[in-house]
Structures are given as structure tokens and as C-alpha cells.
Structure 1
């Protein structure tokens, strides 16, 4: 965690101790729900090891919105900022260790240490860029390209989790993903992946 924080903002040892002192270490087992939709999301998580999935249930169907891997901050940003009900469920897909801070503690850190405001801004920027990139991919890339980009960005996902979660994230049925996987295995290279 210290390495990630240092890359984002050059924290002093005192500032690092302050954030570490407020963190609660948590462990979630494979397939364990760590947050249900409904209450406002009033915490921030840092995934130290493992994998979390954020998803919604719409008309009884499960839709994966985000995967959070080791070294990621995990949050329902919309609910965190507005303090309105969260529409997301969070689940550990494998044994997961993460650190948790309350929103009140985060706001206190912002007040006491201005560098934490920089961290908050950088996290918001990353969340925006990730959402914008995903939206553009869904509008402009075909399924095969979205699959290849996800494979290039997060190859560990394909080793760790059921394919139906990946299909849900990509917005397709598992059968369509199976066809794409077979094609990619047969023709592995594409030079236009960014």
C-alpha cells in the first residue's frame, strides 16, 4: 500500500502513518459478499491481495461493472460522493485482503494533510478515465477487441474467475464469449490493441 500511495503523492512518513493508523484490515473469502446494494457506500477500500467484483442485479440478471485487483482502490464513487444508496454489490472472487477507511476518516485526512486531497483528486481522475474508456470501448470496439484489451490489461482475470463474469463485464452472453475466445486462441495477435 505504501508503494502505491508514494507513487500517487509523495507522502511524508507522518502522513503514511496517519493513513495506516485509520485503516482496518479485512479479509474476504472466495464468493463472499463484502457489500450489498442499498445503503450508501461510505468507505474506501484498498485491495492488498485478491480480487473484488462490483455488480448490479437488474430484473434478476447479474451485470458486472468493475473488477478491482491487487493495488487498486475500490469504491462505488457515485454513492460515495452523493451519499445516496449504492446500486452495486461487491463480492470477493478469490480470497481477498483489503484495507478499509470510513468516509469520515478520509475527510478528516483531507483536512489535516492537504496531500490527501491530491490523492482524492487523482483517484477521482482515474475513476473518470476508466469509466470514459469503458464507455468508448463499448461504443466503438467490437467484442473481440474489447476482449483482447481486457486480456492485455488484466490477464490474471482469465485465470482466476468464471468466464461468465468476464462475459457479463463485456456485455455479452457466455456463448458469445466462448466463440471469441476460440477465435483469439486461433489468431492470437492483433497489432491495434492499445
Structure 2
């Protein structure tokens, strides 16, 4: 996806505002397994996925939990960093080789102060991320494991071809054995 296409899925921008973002965006390429954002750090970058798949996860002494997958067109950021400039609670790992558009928070924040269209982009970005979190919480708390799997299959079918099953199982809040059982039933 082009940066313009990604931005316009978040908020329809005039050409001058798109150009301002394109002027500061840097295309970056990272290999599979790279940790793009680290937990317990303040990160100052935001990324849009041009090509690839990533996952967000948190880690405790007992286990690692995947709670989000991003694909082409998605935004990669720590909301804790973005909104409050505080250390993030999650890490972001690349599941495959990725091509990303990188933006600096400071430059982006300055644009928010001087361009109402980009300020609205920032607001819509935060709103979109809030809705995504709400959907994931509801899915995790209300749906059965099988329903969560079917929802993932319906909403992001390509993930099942691109993401290791251990991460899919973690995202669904089940074991790999349970995931295998559900997949056989389908």
C-alpha cells in the first residue's frame, strides 16, 4: 500500500497535508524477528505497514501473550507513548520481512499544531485504535474460543497463512492443542 492510501483510510486528507507527511516519512525495511518497539521504553516513532505482518505482545515471568496483529495498511505504535509519552507495556515483533513507513512523533505532533487536517488525522488514528482495543476486549471476554477463531478467520483470514500457530493460539487465549482441535472441527 502507498502511504497516501493508508492515510486516507484513517482520514481523508487534502493533497497539501498528505505531502507534509510524505516529506517526513522514511521507508524502512526490517527482517523477520526484528523487535520494532520494546516494552518498558519510550519510543518516538510511529509506523505504517506497507508490506508485512507484525504482532504486539506482552511478557510476564509466566508467559508471553500476543494481543494484536498488524497487516498491510495498519498503524504500529504504542498508544501509551503516543498519548501520554510514557513507557510502553508492549513489544512489537515482525513476523515476516516488512516494509514500513516511519514517522517521528515530534515532527508529527508539530504538524498537529499547525495543520487542522493532520490534527484530525491524529484524532481519528487514536479513535480507530481505541475501537480496535474495545473489539479485542469484547471478543476475548464474550466469545467462546471457537467463536474467537471463526471471527479471526472471517476478519483476517490471511493471518492463518502468515502467522505461526503458537501466536494465533496466544492471541485467541487458548493452547495450540485447543487451536488444532478447533481447526479440525471447522
Shorter-chain TM range is over 0.9
User: How far 1:83 moved relative to its partner?
Assistant: 1.4
Structure 2 gaps, min length 5: none
Instruction: Tell me the residue number matched to 1:85.
Output: 87
Q: How many residue pairs were aligned?
A: 184
Question: Match for residue 155 of structure 1?
Answer: 157
User: Structure 1 residues 8 and 86, CA, compared in 2 at 3 Å: closer, same or farther?
Assistant: closer
The residue that corresponds to 2:179 in the other structure is 177
Bigger radius of gyration among the two: 1
Deviation at 1:80, TM superposition (A): 2.0
In the alignment, which of 18, 21, 34 is matched to residue 20 of structure 2? 18
Query: Which residue of structure 1 lines up, in the alignment, with residue 59 of structure 2?
Result: 57
TM superposition score normalised by structure 1:
0.90
> What do the CA deviations read for 1:22-70 (whole angstroms, capped 9, x no partner)?
1121111111222221211322110000011111111152110211100
Stretches (4+) displaced over 6 A: none
Distance in structure 2 (CA, Å) of the matches to 1:112 and 1:68: 30
Query: Which residue, out of 16, 29, 48, partners 1:27?
Result: 29
Kept after mapping to 2: 8 A contact 1:24/1:100: yes
Contact 2:46 2:77 in 1 (8 A): yes
- Where do 5+ consecutive residues of structure 1 fail to align? 185-194
The aligned counterpart of 1:192 is none
